[in-house]
Amino acid sequence: MHRILVTGSADGLGRLAAEALLDQGYEVVVHARNPGRVEALRPLLDRGADLVVTDLAERDAVRDLAATLAGGAPLDAVIHNAGVWSGRAVMPVNIVAPYLLTALLPGPRRLVYLSSGSHFTGRPELDGIDWQGRTPGSYGDSKLFVTALAAAVARLRPGVPSNAVDPGWVPTRMGGAGAPDDLELGHRTQEWLATSDDAEALTTGGYWYHQEREEPHPAVPDVAFQDRLLAALARETGTPLG
């Protein structure tokens, strides 16, 4: 049976993905940012989900989370769903946390990173990026970086399917009530990539939208850019991607 971590699962797409995975009989580890968010997850906990509580904007907390997870039952997949739209937590949550968890967690057999169509507005420039979140970060830049991270992991860990997913502009708290995309389709692709034995789902290095593989920003498959990004994150965190 697959055991799957879904970060940012107290609401929105992460909550829907966690619910759907439980419905399908998988073991699910749900994540809340702080204790005040735990009650929102009570229905999933009552159904058998395990819980981790971590502020992904805090690097030491992310390291502690990785150590806790590494000491528990092995994870078969991680869906890096947690994200913020604006403010100082953009870079710490949207790219630094997934990078650290990827570097520190042993053995997930599949990795899924939540991208966005906004990654096309990102700039493949690393000079001057405030990785620590002392100033507000660019959402588009953060999503370009995490999409490139997914591609870099696919290249460096060929036995581990690693993919990025654009869930669409969906009506969640982040997307807003008037968002035009399909909320149901918004979470299916990450579940499929995390669990399915379909040949397509077992491919790696893709950028997906509603179970269709699409072309990402030109910087994403650029190996030189991937390597510069990984080097910058390794210097910033003191943790190389193994």
Residue positions annotated with a catalytic role:
139, 143
Length of the chain measured in residues: 242
DSSP letters, the chain, are --EEEESS-SSHHHHHHHHHHHHTT-EEEEEESSGGGGGGGHHHHHTT-EEEE--TT-HHHHHHHHHHHHTSSPPSEEEE----SSSTTHHIIIIIHHHHHHHH----SEEEEE--GGGGG-----TT--TT-SS---HHHHHHHHHHHHHHHHHH-TTS-EEEEE--S-SSTTT-TT--S-HHHHHHHHHHHHH---TGGG--S-EEETTEEE---TTTT-HHHHHHHHHHHHHHHT----
